[in-house]
Amino acid sequence: MIVGALGDVVFSVSSRTLKTISNFVWSGSARYATHDLHAGNSISEYTGTDLAKITFDIQLLASLGVDPMSEIWRLFDLERQGVTLPLTIGNHGYGRYRWTILSHKTKAEHYDGHGNIISATLSISLQEYLR
């Protein structure tokens, strides 16, 4: 069953495979300019919004049908190439257009006897990309 997708990176759950997200955080903020007035209080002016940001973790387990290193390299390449990606979780598309991968962190948790990563948590930070 498909849970969602970041571009062509599909998050799914089945009896043989688990590649899904956790710790999903969607944040945004407004921008204000502060104007100092002579002999009076400062005033603030709303100037717009900052680009939205999303962070989440992906658990990558070889025992659940995922090759952790290929998934890590796949997302690393998308980040380095500056590819813009749509994000869908469930039936909901996030953002006003697309997202770019700002950064990633990989926490390698377990290795096989040859030093290959068999379990890792990949933390992804996205930033909204507007046309």
Task: Show the domain range for 107.
Answer: 2-129
pLDDT in tens, 13-61: 888 888 889 999 999 999 999 999 998 899 999 999 999 999 999 999 9
Q: Which CATH number covers residue 121?
A: 2.40.30
Number of compact structural domains in the chain: 1
Going from the C-alpha of 2 to that of each of 21, 44, 45, the distances in angstroms are: 12, 46, 44
Rounded to two decimals, what is the model's pTM?
0.88
Closest CA to 44 of 53, 31, 56, 57: 31
